Amino acid sequence: MAPDAIVAEELTYWYGELIAVDHIDFTVAQGEILGFLGPNGAGKTTTVKMLTGQLKPKAGRAVLLGMDVAHNVEKVQGEIGVCFEETNLYEQMSALENLQLFARLFGIRSFDAYALLKRVGLAGREKDRVENYSKGMKQRLMVARSLVSRPQILFLDEPTAGLDPTSSEAIRNIILEERERGATIFLTTHDMLEADKLSDRVAFMNDGKIVALDTPHNLKQKYGKRALKAEVSNESGELEMREIALDTTQTPEAIHELFAREKVVTIHSEEASLEDIFIKLTGRRLTE
């Protein structure tokens, strides 16, 4: 079994009186995609900052690729790629120059910026100044920049937020390709569907603590409620909704009754979403 790429042990950080991250423990295996979910202010960004060496933990430790981050910041940072939520590119430089600069910072001699830009769909625009790019193009360039060093661990913060479906899909494909390459991916997002689609496991963070960590499937099994939802037509021809909980002893009878007594127009099964589970666990919505 591959060793863990990321280990957080009692990781803690506070700003004055406010405890932003409260003694959290988790591991991420090599080649795994971990979806890190939580509303604003839950402590996600502070956690990522500690994992990437931008903040020194007040207590506990973060170990990446077997190295304690606090004591090996530069070595660790040589092995990771970080894509921030906010665009932070050199806008007066071209995409090519942005990538070449970061390649030099990583000490990469033979770097094919054109190939990487082609991979993220920016072929033909390599020499344009970034300030002339659309938001989607900038975001794709941000992802490309995080891949310059072919990192072993990739931290992606809301990589598809506010993007058009084409750009979002392009970025999701890149994330999956990187996982195929063997990279470990730490994906911070508000987007439950994206987390559900991409993540091997998801962690829910709330008020500085991890309240749940498992595969999306297991979380749905454990906390979710499956149901049948049906649209029925009443006597005056208006549509009404009916819901039948699945996995109970009364389920078969209830389904039989529905079809026997009602005029069913449409029917479909419904799984609990990660959003539902998050609300159930924390009493808050992710987008709060």
Partner 1 sequence: MSFRIIKALVAKDLSLFFRNRFYALITVLGIVTYIAIYLVMPSSVDERLEIGLYAPVVPPVFEQISEEGVEIEPVESKEALVEAVIEGQYAAGVELPADIMEKFASGQKPQVTLYFTADAPEEVKDAVEFLIRELAYLQTGQMLAIDVSAEILGRDMLGEQIPTRDRMRPLFALALIMFETMGLASLISQEIEQGTAQALLVTPTNVKDLFAAKGLMGVGLAFAQAVFFMAIVGGMSSQPLIILTTLLLGAILVTGAGFLIASLSKDMMSVMAWGAVVIIVFAIPAFGIMVPGTISGWVKAIPSYYLADIVHQAANFGAGWGDVWPNLLILMGFNVAIVGGGIMALRRKFQ
> Which residues bind to partner 1, rule: CB under 8 A?
52-54, 73-74, 77-78, 80, 82, 84, 86-93, 97, 101-102, 104-107, 145, 149
At 8 the three-state DSSP class reads strand
In whole angstroms, how close is the CB of 81 to partner 1 at the nearest point?
A: 8
| Nearest distance from C-beta of residue 166 to partner 1, angstroms | 25
Least distance to partner 1 from the beta carbon of 101, Å? 5
Nearer to partner 1, 73 or 267 (CB): 73
Q: In the bound complex, what is the minimum distance in angstroms from residue 148's beta carbon to partner 1? A: 9
* Residue 44 CB-half CA count within 13 A: 27
Tokens linked to 248 = 């109970």
Least distance in Å: CB of 219 to partner 1? 30
Taking the C-alpha atoms of residue 136 and residue 190, their distance in angstroms, rounded to an integer, is 18
Question: CB-wise, 93 or 255, nearer to partner 1?
Answer: 93
What is the rounded distance in angstroms from the CA atom of residue 161 to the CA atom of residue 164? 9
Nearer to partner 1, 141 or 219 (CB): 141
Residue 267 pairs in a beta bridge with: 230
Shortest reach from residue 104's CB to partner 1, in Å: 4
Query: For residues 152 and 282, which CB has a smaller minimum distance to partner 1 in the complex?
Result: 152
If the CB atoms of residues 63 and 153 are measured against partner 1, the closer one turns out to be: 153
* Strand 153-157, strand 184-189: pairing: parallel
Q: In what order do the strands lie in the sheet with 209-214?
A: 80-83, 153-157, 184-189, 33-37, 201-206, 209-214
Specify the residue for token string 């007066």: 92
User: How are strands ordered across the β-sheet holding 59-64?
Assistant: 18-29, 4-15, 59-64, 67-68
Looking at residue 202, its amino acid is V
The sheet with strand 239-245 has its strands ordered as 239-245, 227-233, 263-270
**Using CA of residue 46, residue 52, residue 57, residue 60, what is the dihedral sign?**
positive
Nearer to partner 1, 102 or 204 (CB): 102
H-helix or E-strand containing 98?
helix 95-105
Least distance from partner 1 to the Cβ atom of residue 92, Å:
5
Q: With respect to partner 1, which residue has the nearer C-beta, 25 or 91? A: 91
